[in-house]
Amino acid sequence: MINRIFNRIVLFTFLTLFQGLILNKIAIAGFITPYFYIMFIFLLPFETKHWQLVLYGFFLGLSVDMFTHNLGVHALSCMLLAFLRPYFIKWISAFKDFEETTRPCIADLGWGWFFRYTFLGTLIFQSCLVFIETFNFHNFSKSAVEVLLNTLLAVFLFMAYQYIFVPAKR
């Protein structure tokens, strides 16, 4: 129990600092920024309570907002992702229950499931983030392209992380 809490604190801190100090400085083609820190929400166990997910999302987003100097945008986007996470897990999993030892990762659930899971969640997060930042639908096609490219980049990074750092199921 204490080991699990310690691991979450370390992951939360690492992802927040990595995002704030390194990834926020990257802008591919001027508008594609890798938002890797939301991986924290994706990696939380299935049995995490709904209110805990939203609370984690709030503090995670608020932590990244402190680096970007626009308080609230990332917090709201992360809270939306965390709030909707249980619903899209049920939707993409055909309402099946998971064993207690099952982790939300490629090793336990396969490449296809993990891709759908992270793609849908990241698409929700990016849509909220981009449309709140621009606060209009005037350049909808440009914003939609930004959402799609940021989503694809983030999902690629999530998949690479899974293959490099998450041990395969025995």
- Above pLDDT 90, what percent of the chain? 63
Answer yes or no: is 77 within a domain.
yes
pTM value is 0.90
Answer yes or no: is 52 within a domain.
yes
Answer yes or no: is 110 within a domain.
yes
Position 134 scores a pLDDT of 80
In the chain, the number of structural domains is: 1
CA distance 27 to 36: 13
Q: For 135-168, what is each residue's pLDDT tens digit?
A: 777 788 888 999 999 999 999 999 999 989 877 7
Structural domain that includes position 51: 2-165
Give the residue ranges of DSSP H helices in the chain. Answer: 2-21, 39-43, 50-68, 73-92, 106-109, 111-134, 140-165
The answer on pLDDT for 95 being more than 70 is no
